[in-house]
Amino acid sequence: MKKIISYNVNGIRAAINKGFAEWLQKENPDVVCIQETKAQPEQIDKELFKSIGYNCYCYSAQKKGYSGVAILSRQEPDKVEYGINNEKYDNEGRAIRVDFGEISIFSAYFPAGTTGGVRQEYKMEWLLAFQNHLNKLRKKRPNLIISGDYNICRLWIDIHNPEKQQKTSGFLPEEREWFQNFVDDGYVDSFRKFNEEPHNYSWWSYRAGSRVRNKGWRIDYNMVTNEISDKIKNAYILPDVKHSDHCPVVVEMDF
């Protein structure tokens, strides 16, 4: 298990219609962490993934056509854990974990908070609940990879026009403060281990030709616990892959 991809597909059925399975076959990762499936388990074509060599595990929101996460893996995991054992957040299908030996991989879809008010509060509460869940888990299983759409730009270089975005959900000072605290807790931003350049994004608005002009946000991450950070061999973004308003982000591990 070496190549892990995180990808917010913005609707798994729509992505499949745009050639997601064909791309996956060509890219050939060991594990794919998917966010925003927008589908119930029975609406996800597991047979299609099986036909190209992937086991498919999914965790959907109770609300139809909303949120949802999945993991595709070549190898069958030893264990699959659905949710974070917290009904308030698990109703929205935001986290799934697979264990392979001593390694655990999450696919996580962090709340957006873009509507402000109640949803922004929910987002801030989720951040703490999820971090606490991870820190508790780390006592037993320290070797974690937390892949997903974090819905936060961590650094000033992770967003176009940062000066004007500081009152926008996803780049609020308190969100970036949480992210710094998360890193200080012992999580490595795999991409920034290899690339410190600006203008590397993983999401672009559909409006005003944002993607063509590369006016984007880097909100998708493969975060790795310190315990296995020496195993990170490479990390990169695939901005030319277009099944979604996001693109895939990759980490290669030496396991």
Active site residues: 149
| Amino acid in position 200 | N
Closest CA to 203 of 129, 139, 112: 112
Residue 91 phi, psi (nearest 5): -60, -25
Q: Determine the longest span between alpha carbons in the chain, in angstroms.
A: 48
Of 215, 198, 201, whose CA–CA distance to 156 is shortest? 198
